[in-house]
């Protein structure tokens, strides 16, 4: 008794038999051939008689405009090829969508050098540079044989089938059915999206019926079953194309499903330079032309001090065209399993992003923590109309140790807020929001952190000039409370006006006026860490500032050496003295920095709670040398002189004395490969360095055999800032380099290393490095990060301070990651 035929093989045999049945039936009658000279463009309907589609009959040669004898054949060769050219897929789609009631099964249209028609059997044979198309599919071959009765087309010689999505199939021979969607091909080679290539001994294409309720014009999906398959996105070696590519997938069979947009293999192995590295009985990956596809993502594994040996297994779910979800399971030897979810969705008027996770600490981390742990980072934004938009952010975590251990994005403070914003061109703006904060360090006490709300702000700046200048008006309401600590509410408004003029000798004038009014209701200020105990109760205060700013750019043309500029600048600022300001709360004017960038501000504080008063003169000298090649050297130095001492500014700020510190900036960038920039603040009496920020970078091209080489160096010195924790000097240096090169084959190599060192603490702050290789089909990248941050309470290094990450990415296939330390 014969063994039963496997269902998959039986389906294949039935498909081949059905394709050949039309040819066998048509061979019974006597053929009468008709040679059509000059037949350059023909339409062959796949359903119904040809006459019904064209209105003409092939039985009447005169109707075709050809001098043919009904009783015989004419062997007149085609002298010229038809001028008609096939439409592009996009043009074809547009034409069908524009035509009411357009059919999904239009006629097959083709061009050829020579066409032969057998009227009795209904067979059309085209030879010589044949090009046929239907819908968005285009077919090219040396020979094209079409049976009108069965709807089967047989093509031979240099067969090319181009799909609307950009894929191209090459074959030695093919038998295609309706709409070129089904058929059998031999000697298949496919050029897919993203440089992917696929080779197979044979292929069978099977259409999937269009589901009920699908939009009109929806094209059926197809299954393509392939045998003896090789897949890769790597280019072959130009000098020896027979050499194996960098990587390839070999499989006994494969199926390309355009409906789910995946390619699935059976008995597959992944080879690296022809050497098998991985075998899988079943393996699948997204179709290269698919923007995204559901399925398991390559895992990430490794070993760390706090997790032990671990593996992360992500699953990506493409829910629909607007949303997706990534679920990641982390299994570790030293910690309980962890599950994270990353959800994204886009709407016509906004988007939502939610990342969350949950796990359990079993006490094996560095602080011995035990219990449920997790986090959520979320954001939602929506445009209500052309003027208004709203948003919501919720960000919470159980601890910084949790974020560091599982390598989620680490933030020093988490902010959650809800807001509503309005925009009216360039003239009007309004915002309403409320915020809460969460500190993640063990030294943070969340009960003392502020709860902001309501926070309302409105601004109006008319386009038209007012008294020859530009006006700006804003009003804001701010309320801050704490579970434990000070609270206050502030109503503030500001009116600003500025006007710019040019005097007859070329001087540039900028006249400015600014008026502020504030009203407070405050309590428990004695619990404020900044100790404003006199600020309790209700108070109101106003301030007015006016300034005249003059500068004279003196420019000299130095010919081939470029252009030189000397620009003196003087500003006079006047207004009433503010006096003692400890009577008012201070929430937004604690952190400020006096540099050349803030020298000419009307108020050197960056908020509203503290105002600068009295008379002062600011002056600076700017010198610049601009080179013809685009390079430049620029230097700025200045100082502020006050008529009275202002105790509002804290010691060490640079503004506590009548004569402020000297501030300056120097930029040296004479060529495109060198850039040096430094800022400094020096004591006006002793010349002591009170602040310095230095950064230098170079970038070379085609040096030492490298395409690019970059060097960086920097230095930062900053004294302790009052009311800022921790109160200590920052004295750090940094250095690093980057290098990259590109080989003749198109491969890219890159490497980079950088480090920061704290001179006061005498220990490194950060060391990191990266090295990588990338070509058209493969990425190998390794990175190392070592931080030396310590918990201020325990003086122990934070969990997850070190990281080693190795990433291997097979383009169009997937990527694998390894993480350690």
Residue 686 has pLDDT above 80, yes or no: yes
What mean pLDDT, rounded, does the chain reach?
83
Residue 544: exposed, middle, or buried by beta-carbon count in 10 A (0-12, 13-18, 19+)? Answer: middle
Residue 365: what pLDDT?
63
More confident residue, 451 or 289: 451
Residue 490: what pLDDT?
97
pLDDT in tens, 64-98: 333 223 223 222 232 223 333 344 444 444 333 33
- How far is the C-alpha of 512 from the C-alpha of 603, rounded, in Å? 12
pLDDT in tens, 647-668: 788 888 899 899 999 999 999 9
DSSP 3-state of 10: helix
Range from 63-67, 114-118, 454-458, 554-558 carrying the lowest mean pLDDT = 63-67
Residue 77: what pLDDT?
30
Residue 273: exposed, middle, or buried by beta-carbon count in 10 A (0-12, 13-18, 19+)? Answer: exposed
Range from 57-61, 349-353, 455-459, 749-753 carrying the lowest mean pLDDT = 57-61
Residue 422 has pLDDT above 90, yes or no: yes
pLDDT in tens, 230-262: 999 999 888 888 899 999 999 999 998 888 888
More confident residue, 406 or 62: 406
**Contact between residue 392 and residue 382 where contact means Cβ atoms under 8 Å apart:** no
Residue 771: what pLDDT?
97
**Residue 370: what are its φ and ψ, rounded to 5°?**
-135, 145
Highest mean pLDDT, choosing among 17-31, 249-263, 450-464, 717-731: 450-464
Scanning the structure block, which residue is given the tokens 């006597």? 30
What is the rounded average pLDDT of the residues 167-176? 90
Give the single-character DSSP code of 674. Answer: E
What is the rounded average pLDDT of the residues 478-501? 95
What is the rounded average pLDDT of the residues 152-168? 87
Instruction: Say what percent of the chain tops pLDDT 90.
Output: 56
Residue 554: what pLDDT?
96
Instruction: Please state, as a whole number, how many other Cβ atoms lie within 10 Å of the Cβ of residue 325.
Output: 16
**Contact between residue 618 and residue 640 where contact means Cβ atoms under 8 Å apart:** yes
Residue 22 has pLDDT above 80, yes or no: no
Residue 134: what pLDDT?
77
What is the rounded average pLDDT of the residues 119-146? 88
Residue 530: what pLDDT?
66
DSSP 3-state of 52: helix
Residue 238: exposed, middle, or buried by beta-carbon count in 10 A (0-12, 13-18, 19+)? Answer: exposed
**Contact between residue 684 and residue 693 where contact means Cβ atoms under 8 Å apart:** no
- How far is the C-alpha of 128 from the C-alpha of 437, rounded, in Å? 75
Banded model confidence at residue 722, pLDDT cuts 50, 70, 90: low
Residue (of 354, 245, 359) closest to 812 by Cα position: 245
Residue (of 300, 311, 408, 395) closest to 354 by Cα position: 395
Distances (CA, A) of 179 to 77, 210, 220, 673: 30, 14, 10, 59
Q: Whats the size of the chain, residue-wise?
A: 821
- How far is the C-alpha of 153 from the C-alpha of 109, rounded, in Å? 12
Give the single-character DSSP code of 610. Answer: S
Scanning the structure block, which residue is given the tokens 């100082």? 639
**Which residues sit opposite 317 in a β-bridge?**
325
pLDDT in tens, 603-638: 999 899 999 999 999 999 999 999 999 999 999 999
Give the largest CA-CA distance in the chain: 119
Residue 10: what pLDDT?
44
- Antiparallel, parallel or unpaired: β 247-257 and 221-232: antiparallel
Residue 265: exposed, middle, or buried by beta-carbon count in 10 A (0-12, 13-18, 19+)? Answer: buried
Q: What is the CA radius of gyration of the chain?
A: 38
Return the half-sphere exposure (C-beta side, CA atoms, 13 A cut-off) of residue 546: 3
Residue 218: what pLDDT?
67
**Residue 662: what are its φ and ψ, rounded to 5°?**
-80, 135
- How far is the C-alpha of 503 from the C-alpha of 487, rounded, in Å? 50
Residue (of 816, 749, 810) closest to 196 by Cα position: 810
Banded model confidence at residue 217, pLDDT cuts 50, 70, 90: low
- How far is the C-alpha of 396 from the C-alpha of 399, rounded, in Å? 9
Residue 286: what pLDDT?
87
**Which residues sit opposite 296 in a β-bridge?**
315
**Residue 91: what are its φ and ψ, rounded to 5°?**
-65, -40
Scanning the structure block, which residue is given the tokens 């819908």? 135
What is the rounded average pLDDT of the residues 325-331? 96
Helices assigned H by DSSP within 486-537: none
Residue (of 491, 595, 620, 508) closest to 555 by Cα position: 508
More confident residue, 811 or 527: 811
Residue 555: what pLDDT?
95
Return the half-sphere exposure (C-beta side, CA atoms, 13 A cut-off) of residue 775: 15
Residue 6: what pLDDT?
45
- Antiparallel, parallel or unpaired: β 300-304 and 814-820: parallel
Residue 320 has pLDDT above 70, yes or no: yes
> Which are the contacts of 275, defined by CB distance < 8 A and separation ≥ 6?
none
Residue 366: what pLDDT?
54
Stretch (H or E) spanning 15: helix 7-26
What is the rounded average pLDDT of the residues 792-802? 75
Residue (of 487, 544, 483, 545) closest to 520 by Cα position: 487
- How far is the C-alpha of 92 from the C-alpha of 644, rounded, in Å? 81
Residue 167 has pLDDT above 70, yes or no: yes
- How far is the C-alpha of 11 from the C-alpha of 5, rounded, in Å? 10
What is the rounded average pLDDT of the residues 141-146? 92
């Amino acid at each position: 008794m014969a063994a039963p035929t496997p269902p998959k093989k039986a389906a294949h045999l039935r498909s081949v038999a059905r394709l050949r049945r039309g040819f066998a039936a048509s061979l019974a009658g006597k053929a009468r051939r008709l040679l059509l000279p000059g037949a350059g463009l023909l339409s062959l309907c796949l359903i119904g008689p040809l006459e019904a589609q064209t209105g003409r009959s092939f039985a009447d040669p005169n109707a075709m405009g050809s001098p043919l004898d009904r009783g015989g054949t004419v062997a007149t060769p085609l002298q010229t090829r038809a001028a008609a050219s096939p439409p592009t897929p996009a043009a074809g789609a547009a034409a069908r969508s524009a035509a009411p009631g357009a059919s999904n099964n239009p006629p097959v249209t083709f061009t050829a050098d020579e066409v032969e028609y057998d009227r009795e059997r209904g067979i059309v044979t085209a030879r010589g540079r044949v090009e046929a198309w239907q819908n968005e599919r285009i077919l090219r071959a040396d020979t094209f044989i079409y049976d009108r009765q069965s709807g089967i087309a047989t093509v031979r010689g240099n067969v090319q089938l181009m799909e609307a999505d950009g894929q191209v199939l090459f074959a030695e021979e093919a038998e295609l059915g309706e709409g070129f969607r089904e058929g059998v091909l031999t000697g298949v080679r496919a050029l897919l999206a993203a440089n992917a290539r696929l080779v197979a001994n044979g292929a069978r294409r099977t259409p999937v019926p269009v589901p009920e309720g699908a939009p009109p014009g929806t094209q059926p999906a197809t299954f393509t079953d392939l045998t003896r398959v090789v897949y890769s996105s790597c280019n072959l070696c130009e000098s020896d194309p027979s050499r194996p590519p960098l990587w390839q997938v070999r499989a006994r069979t494969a199926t390309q499903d355009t409906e789910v947009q995946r390619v699935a293999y059976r008995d597959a192995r992944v080879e690296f330079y022809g050497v098998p590295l991985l075998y899988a009985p079943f393996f699948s990956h997204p179709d290269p032309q698919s923007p995204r596809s559901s399925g398991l993502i390559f895992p990430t594994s490794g070993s760390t001090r706090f997790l032990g040996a671990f593996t992360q297994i992500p699953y990506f779910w493409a829910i629909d065209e607007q949303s997706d979800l990534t679920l990641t399971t982390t299994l570790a030897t030293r910690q309980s399993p962890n599950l994270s979810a990353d959800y994204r969705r886009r709407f016509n008027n906004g988007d939502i992003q939610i990342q969350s996770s949950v796990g359990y600490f079993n006490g094996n981390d560095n602080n011995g923590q035990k219990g449920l742990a997790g986090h959520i980072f979320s954001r939602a934004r929506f445009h209500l109309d052309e003027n208004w938009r709203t948003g919501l952010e919720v960000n919470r975590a159980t601890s910084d140790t949790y974020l560091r251990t599982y390598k989620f994005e680490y933030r020093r403070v988490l902010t959650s807020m809800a807001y509503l914003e309005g925009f009216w061109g360039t003239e009007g703006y309004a915002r309403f929001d409320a915020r809460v904060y969460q500190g993640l360090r063990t030294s943070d006490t969340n009960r003392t952190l502020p709860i902001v709300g309501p926070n309302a702000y409105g601004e109006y700046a008319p386009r038209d000039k007012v008294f020859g200048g530009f006006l700006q008006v804003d009003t804001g309401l701010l309320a801050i409370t704490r579970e434990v600590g000070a609270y206050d509410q502030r109503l503030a408004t500001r009116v600003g006006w500025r006007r710019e003029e040019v005097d007859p000798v070329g001087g540039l004038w900028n006249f400015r006026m600014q008026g502020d009014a504030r009203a407070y209701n405050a309590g428990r200020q004695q619990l404020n860490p900044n100790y404003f105990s006199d600020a309790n109760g209700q108070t109101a205060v106003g301030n007015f500032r006016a300034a005249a700013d003059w500068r004279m750019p003196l420019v000299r043309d130095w010919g081939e050496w470029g252009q030189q500029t000397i620009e003196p600048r003087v500003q006079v600022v006047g207004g009433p003295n503010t006096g003692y300001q400890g009577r008012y709360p201070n929430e937004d004017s604690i952190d400020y920095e006096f540099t050349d960038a803030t020298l000419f501000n009307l108020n050197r504080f960056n908020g509203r709670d503290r105002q600068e008063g009295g008379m002062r003169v600011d002056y600076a000298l700017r010198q610049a040398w601009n080179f013809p090649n685009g390079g430049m050297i620029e230097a700025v130095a200045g100082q502020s002189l006050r008529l009275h001492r202002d105790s509002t500014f804290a010691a060490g700020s640079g503004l506590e004395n009548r004569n402020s510190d000297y501030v300056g900036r120097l930029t040296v960038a004479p060529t495109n490969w060198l850039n040096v920039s430094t800022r400094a603040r020096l004591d006006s009496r002793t010349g002591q360095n009170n602040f310095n920020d230095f950064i230098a970078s170079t970038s070379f091209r085609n040096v030492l055999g490298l395409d690019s080489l970059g060097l960086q160096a920097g230095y930062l010195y900053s004294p302790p800032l009052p009311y800022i924790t921790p109160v200590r000097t920052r004295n750090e240096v940094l250095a690093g380099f980057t290098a990259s090169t590109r080989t003749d084959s198109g491969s890219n190599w890159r490497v980079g290393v950088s480090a920061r060192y704290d001179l006061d603490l005498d220990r490194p702050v950060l060391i990191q490095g990266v090295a990588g290789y990338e070509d058209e089909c493969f990425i190998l990248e390794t990175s190392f990060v070592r931080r030396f941050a310590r918990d201020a309470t325990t003086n122990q290094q934070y969990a997850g301070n070190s990281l080693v990450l190795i990433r291997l990415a097979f383009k169009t296939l997937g990527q694998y990651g390894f993480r350690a330390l």
